[in-house]
């Protein structure tokens, strides 16, 4: 990620956090950077993402190996929606928990419950952590979830964790504000 200042100078910015977020039922990769990083207090006029092809030997030589995005205008803090705070994860019975959160503020377009739990990959025959996104109704403040309790799940991936996202006008809530709540099945 590089920042372009109003005077045309460019500086590299470290990527703090990235995640896939479903906005209007379309999965998008969301990235967050500190636009004033690097000891310079000036906010950039534009941001640009630069990436490299992971396996350039399998592509046509005419395809550039470095990919640069068009300029993106940094979002002001006022347009970033605030995700509802998680209140609790309570066990209702052995295989079921109720995840409870504060009411959503600012009328977001979507409120999402992020659930990380063990997932069985049948292609390679292993359990691994996988994050699912559950759309929450706009006025909801809780959701019941079933825990994965298969005896074959290794101890290191047994824990389930929950966190909240919000999306409004194609902007996702601050990923760095997430505070997951974890429960053992």
For residue 78, the SS3 value is helix
Q: What's the confidence (pLDDT) of residue 34? A: 74
* Contact yes or no for 129/118 (Cβ under 8 A): yes
The average pLDDT across 29-37 equals 74
| pLDDT score recorded for residue 145 | 96
Residue 92 clears pLDDT 90, i.e. is over it: yes
120's tokens: 């069985």
For the chain, the residue count is 185
Higher-pLDDT residue of 114, 71: 114
* DSSP SS3 for 42: coil
Q: Find the mean pLDDT for residues 7-19.
A: 77
CA distance 51 to 20: 17
Which is higher by pLDDT, 75 or 156?
156
pLDDT given at position 6: 61
Residue 175: what pLDDT? 85
Given this model, what pLDDT does residue 94 score?
87
Residue range 96-114, pLDDT digits in tens = 999 999 999 888 999 999 9
Query: How does strand 126-136 pair with strand 110-121?
Result: antiparallel
**How far is residue 85 CA from its own chain's centroid?**
15
């Amino acid at each position: 990620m590089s920042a372009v200042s109003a005077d045309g100078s460019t500086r590299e910015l470290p990527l703090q956090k990235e995640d896939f977020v479903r906005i209007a039922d379309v999965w998008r990769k969301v990235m967050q950077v500190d636009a004033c990083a690097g000891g310079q207090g000036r906010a950039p006029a534009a941001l640009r993402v630069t990436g490299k092809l992971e396996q350039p030997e399998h592509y046509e030589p005419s395809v550039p190996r470095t990919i640069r995005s068009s300029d993106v205008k940094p979002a002001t803090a006022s347009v970033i929606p605030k995700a509802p705070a998680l209140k609790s994860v309570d066990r209702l019975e052995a295989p079921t928990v109720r995840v409870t959160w504060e009411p959503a503020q600012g009328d977001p377009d979507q409120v999402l419950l992020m659930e990380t739990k063990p997932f069985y990959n049948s292609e390679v025959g292993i359990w691994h952590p996988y994050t699912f996104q559950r759309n929450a109704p706009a006025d909801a403040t809780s959701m019941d979830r079933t825990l994965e309790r298969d005896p074959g799940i290794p101890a290191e991936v047994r824990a389930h964790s929950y966190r909240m996202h919000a999306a409004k006008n194609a902007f996702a809530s601050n990923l760095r504000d997430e505070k997951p709540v974890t429960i053992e099945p």
